[in-house]
Structure 1
Amino acid sequence: MMKISSLIACIVLFISSWRTVNGQLCPAFYEKTCPSALSTIKAAVKQAVAKEKRMGASLLRLHFHDCFVNGCDGSILLDDTPTFTGEKTAAPNNNSVRGFDVIDNIKSKLEAVCSGVVSCADILAVAARDSVVELGGPSWTVMLGRRDSTTASQGSANTSIPAPTLNLTALISSFRAQGLSTTDLVALSGSHTIGQARCTNFRARIYNETKINTLFASSLKANCPSASGSGDNNLAPLDRLTPTFFENNYYKNLKSQKGLLHSDQQLFMGGSTDSQVTKYSLDQNTFFKDFAAAMVKMGNIKPLTGTKGQIRKNCRKPN
């Protein structure tokens, strides 16, 4: 239970956020306006992940891909309109990002108990945390009070979300552009201990790269033909051992040259991030601690607060 002093401080922030355009995020933002918000989201995520383990990784990825495009504002959830082309069909998202139906379900439940109060951007942030916990990973205190954007940008999604083809220097630059450090980069990349990737995103690695475990590469080729356009959407787990359990196997895989994506293996290629990968491969508790801290930091990328944006009643379209 939050201490009374902390709750009072949050209430002050809540009130002030409506008076200023730069309100701060606060963990108790819905304490008075929608007390059941967090429990409602948690129950829905628990149900979705129980139905399909992979959904945990998908919900985590939604939050990541949202925050990297003009901040954590729920823009990734918007369908196209006559005035803008949304982010769902951007190259990093098309035929890849999923879980929209789960977010719709959560939003519907929240609208039934406290209409127009909980933002879609906050739903994404809480669902990401709850998904990680459901799959055995760490928890963290989610800062709340984000508001939703009224527009989206396919162009920004194409340029801001780091591609699986990036080398280490480009990855560091991409994360730095969002205010995230190299430590954050390596810690957040650990999210690839769960989930799957499409053949089109790892084909070049398994057929053309030399810094890859030979048996690992061979085992992937049957489901990912060398010809472009053939089997592009066939899936492979990012961590073959435990793809639905959140732990530190991802880093152990990198040390064995079994990173599925080019961008994954770049973190352990004789460069500046090798030592951090080694540390996480040996110490899961440190990885969990750093991952949780990095998620809080990522969730604070340019949030809309105060009078900016809106609280969408339908996450797929502006009010």
Structure 2
Amino acid sequence: MSVSSRASASLMGRRALRICSLAAVLSFAAAQGAETTEAGKAMPTGGHTGNAFIGTWDDDGDGKVTRTEYDTVRKTRFATTDGDSNGSLTIEEYVNEYAVRLDRDIADERNASLKQTDTRFKALDKDQDKFISRGEYDGSGDRAFVHLDRNKDDRITNDDADPAARETSRRRSIIGMPTSHNLAGMLEIYDDDGDDVLTREQYDAHRAKAFAATDANKDGKLDHDEYVNEFNARLSQQIDDRRQAQLKQGRVRFKAIDANENGGISSDEYFAMSTRMYDRADTNKDGVVTQDDPPPVRERRQDEQAVTSQVQTP
């Protein structure tokens, strides 16, 4: 075996090991899905505004978050995270607590994504023969391209953005699989040269290669296992990449909250951050966070580019 072949095999082995290790983590997280805080509510990783904020901090389930309710749950989380009960959080305590919530949310979203993939297979199998033919596959691709090519110039670019796209403050996908249902996802998946211009020729060539790669037994059609296995492989790699990035970001957040840079987050530092989070979510400044609070300007700009939780399958 050549040096380059051995290096490639080693890389593939490490990647496979990461995915297998991740699968074990997610299986554990799924088993722990019912785990709750001392306040009796499972804490998702959540978001900082709108429905995402309410879903995370609405402890009594009434669709709103008062400041008293929020502070109570935050105090419980601090106490739970402070494993040695010394009144200060180490970086390990902070990141490990986040990792437990992150893995639980990833496991939930992964299961939902796989369920959606099964549903999509059935939708693409128009003649219900339990296979996706090349014609059915190409028909789906054609509809997706035509839908996003709003100016009908046989290219998809940022000029095709829908100015009437609905703003949303819903919680974003943790996994962040790109989807051909929106402009950003379509370009991320198919714009191989990264010039933000997707021609019909590029698109068709990419999809032809994807079909051939997914058709494991080379019979010219995709069965259910081929379709799901291809997506599952991409999903596992995406999860691995995103999980590592999220945990790295957790360490960055720790340093930002540790205002005096002493290597620990005191309760004062923790609750100062809590105040900033609540004030940011309470955009209409009425002292209660509800669905009536519009997203902040910055949040709206991010949402226009955010990848939805829908998944792209071949």
**TM-score, normalised with respect to structure 1:** 0.30
Larger radius of gyration: 2
More strand by share: 2
